[in-house]
Structure 1
Amino acid sequence: MTDQDDLLPIGLEDALPERAAAITRAMRAVLDTMDSHGYDRVRPPLIEFEHSLGGRMQGVATRRMVRFTDPDSLRTLALRGDMTVQVGRIAATGLATAPRPLRLCYAGEVALLRADQLDPARQRLQMGAELIGSDAVAAASEAVLLAIASLEAAGLADISVDFTLPDLVDVLADGAFPLDPSAREAVRRELDTKDAGGLAAAGGHDYLPLLYATGPFSEAADKLKALDAGGELASRIEGLEAIVERIGSRARITLDPTERHGFEYQSWFGFTIYAAGARNAIGRGGTYTIRGSDEAATGFSLYAEPLLEALGSAEGAPRDTLFLPTDHDPSVAARLRAIGWRTVAAIDDGNDALALGCTHRLDGSEPVAL
């Protein structure tokens, strides 16, 4: 019988054995791929000073963090809501003198006081990689390709990537389509909502074509080029085309140049990763600047929940498990585990191999299928 106190808060849940195993397999595949590309893993703490977590990246909302007072320092602490900011702190402090570009990866739980309507989870496994010291096209290409390779290693094949230009309004407002600083936020807001009437009323009539420069990359890029009469976006569009060329046929590429959701601290380039079978985005990334050190960086984050959703039935593939009777030879069991067998040892003669989820039974020195 479940007691009221046994219930979990909204947005939190237990990962039972099958799901926990699937999460572990996906995390291992992702981290192994990042390691194979030269990214060293770091393990920042779960809790930091709130000011540090909120001060390294513009747009990080500390109000969504779980906060409390440190009994030692009496300062406000917070559970991390995004590990990217912690990697930025590590790069700017403990690894400040390390050669650049610095390649770091990570995996760990993050927690939020409040989730959003699109994703109600308040605790998530975040995995990612950061290339510190560059936000050039080559760095952006490496980030996108590594994200794709990591998902492929985890078992995904049907991947799509949506590009965006987070600083698009500022670039155009400073050049071809001047905007008063006080009007820029209103224009951004109306572009976010795709409201043509609201955009015109906000003084953004020149920005109306941006609402239609979306879709498959080639078509959307051509519309963006036609809009870019003054040439302010030329280098950015060329950069996007170079990234697309490197990706080739490994993913479908789309472009939504005004998308800002999830790109609060990105600079010239951002991308969102989707896969068939997942309702929400699997990850996001892009270029940014680490506040405090003002160092350019490029990276991405992936989340386990939509990744497992996209994997579907593949995540629950049963493993061969060998039942060891009470009189088994431990040296034989050790040899079989060394070559990859998973074993379950009987505690007494009444244990049922099938009920314990075993697929084989040890008979002497050899596994026999049940």
Structure 2
Amino acid sequence: MTLADRWLLPDGIEEVLPPGAQQIEHLRRRLLDLMDSWGYDLVTPPVLEYLDALLTGTGKDLDLRTFKVTDQISGRMMGLSADTTPQVARIDAHSLARDGISRFCYCRTIFHTRARSLLANRTPTQIGAELFGEAGVAADVEVLSMMLSLLTASGVKNIHLDIGNVGVYRAIAEQAGVTDAQQTELFDLLKLKCASDIDAWAEREIADNNSRKALQLLARLQGTLSGLANGFDKLIALVPGVASELEHLQAVANQVLERFPGVPLYIDLTELRGYQYHTGLVFGAYIPGYGDAIAQGGRYDETGKAFGRARPARGFSADLRVLARLGDFAPERKPLVLAPATGDAALWQYVNELRQQGMRVISCREQDTPQADYSLQIINGQWQLVQVQPA
């Protein structure tokens, strides 16, 4: 390794310098305070823990993104946390195991072997919340409302909300008798959202007439809530098992629209992100000009099952650094004061008073060249603040 190479960071790894680090830290405090005001308790799961607990109920994608190491004490495989949700599920099921509803929030760095997308980095600062113990519409509305409030507090503008429900696809696939091999093919087609290809696949692979028509209809169920009402009715007639899931989706969407009338809401029943562990509603927030979701989440009732306590659960997460970059949040600037670097006891006391009042005070030396707002000078035998005139 050459001397120049030592300064290089690995691909997908970034550092945060001033003043960006200050902006992110102030935003972190603001958003954690917001979630605290909603009654969500802060937790900090370990960065490193045993792999079998870390990957419980998460599916293959998270497994591939997880850094793995061997514990030199026990010989067991361990992993660096690539997602906070499974760890919070363990906390809910085992570490705390509270009765009734539990609400948790978090903000910490996670680690990915590969970035989730071209726009992501490999060490995102994940901020989010999880709600356990309630299965109804109110819980989904609460989590979605807090996510949108968090984005607003970050200064993010022009938010668009996408909502889907993997339970609808599960009901259709169950009625159609879709095999594991068929599901892999169908997933790939649904990701591309090409209705004609899905039509041809269903004609070839699905024997049951109603199930075949339902899959073909599913491929076309993207749009506004009011615009899809007729399509929902047709889908229920073909597959009665989807009725409760669609009713739940509509109830959640209607309440969110009432609370956030300025946020466009789009329904997409082909959105199967996180299908391996999501069990119902899935959602993501987007803004124009940015190709990834800036926040996303959903319902995942089975994640705590491996810890002996499967409970209704839903949550959301975002990358704090992305929110800081895309939002217009700016921390309040503190006045900067220059103080002579002397041993004067009166000066020391005055500097401490100014810092307690919220000012930044630098004990200035010859090498310091900051652009300050004030300087401390002795006037009539006392240290006083003197405004610095612009050069």
Q: Say yes or no: TM over 0.5.
A: yes
Matched, 1:138 2:138: yes
> Alignment partner of 1:299: what SS?
strand
CA contact (8 A) 2:165 2:249 kept: no
- Matched ranges for 1:8-27 at <5 A: 8-27=9-28
Aligned residue pairs: how many? 362
Change (3 A) 1:187 1:277: closer
Change (3 A) 1:278 1:21: farther
Alpha-carbon distance in structure 2 between the residues aligned to 1:333 and 1:276: 47
CA contact (8 A) 2:68 2:79 kept: yes
CA contact (8 A) 2:167 2:242 kept: no
> Alignment partner of 2:248: what SS?
helix
2:164 corresponds in structure 1 to 164
2:249 corresponds in structure 1 to 240
2:286 corresponds in structure 1 to 274
* Range 43-52 or range 210-219, more displaced: 210-219
Matched, 1:323 2:322: no
Q: How many angstroms does 1:40 deviate by?
A: 0.6
2:375 corresponds in structure 1 to 361
Letter in 1 for 2:29: R
CA RMSD of aligned residues (A): 2.4
2:76 corresponds in structure 1 to 75
CA contact (8 A) 1:210 1:224 kept: no
Letter in 1 for 2:223: G
CA contact (8 A) 1:70 1:76 kept: yes
Matched, 1:181 2:179: yes
- Matched ranges for 1:144-293 at <5 A: 144-175=144-175, 178-182=176-180, 183-203=182-202, 205-206=212-213, 207-229=215-237, 230-247=239-256, 248=258, 249-276=261-288, 278-289=290-301, 290=303, 291-292=305-306, 293=309
CA contact (8 A) 1:109 1:125 kept: yes
Alpha-carbon distance in structure 1 between the residues aligned to 2:151 and 2:160: 11
TM (norm. structure 2) is 0.84
CA contact (8 A) 1:135 1:287 kept: no
Matched, 1:128 2:119: no
Q: How many angstroms does 1:263 deviate by?
A: 4.9
1:106 corresponds in structure 2 to 106
Change (3 A) 1:268 1:69: same
Alpha-carbon distance in structure 2 between the residues aligned to 1:90 and 1:232: 33
Structure 1: gaps (5+ residues): none
CA contact (8 A) 2:296 2:316 kept: yes
What is the percent sequence identity of the aligned residues?
28
Q: Which has the larger radius of gyration?
A: 2
* Range 80-89 or range 319-328, more displaced: 319-328
1:32 corresponds in structure 2 to 33
Letter in 1 for 2:287: A
Alpha-carbon distance in structure 2 between the residues aligned to 1:22 and 1:228: 49
Alpha-carbon distance in structure 2 between the residues aligned to 1:226 and 1:367: 75
* Range 128-137 or range 271-280, more displaced: 271-280
Matched, 1:93 2:112: no
Alpha-carbon distance in structure 2 between the residues aligned to 1:164 and 1:26: 29
* Range 82-91 or range 115-124, more displaced: 115-124
Q: CA deviation digits over 1:210-230, x for unaligned, max 9?
A: 222213333245433333324
Q: CA deviation digits over 1:112-152, x for unaligned, max 9?
A: 11124433411100011111112321111110011111222
1:337 corresponds in structure 2 to 355
Structure 2: gaps (5+ residues): 207-211, 378-382
> Alignment partner of 1:148: what SS?
helix
Change (3 A) 1:367 1:260: farther
Change (3 A) 1:65 1:215: same
* Range 146-155 or range 240-249, more displaced: 240-249
Alpha-carbon distance in structure 1 between the residues aligned to 2:138 and 2:310: 20
Q: How many angstroms does 1:101 deviate by?
A: 0.5
Change (3 A) 1:198 1:285: same
Change (3 A) 1:277 1:188: closer
2:322 corresponds in structure 1 to 306
Q: CA deviation digits over 1:59-91, x for unaligned, max 9?
A: 553222111111111111110000111101111
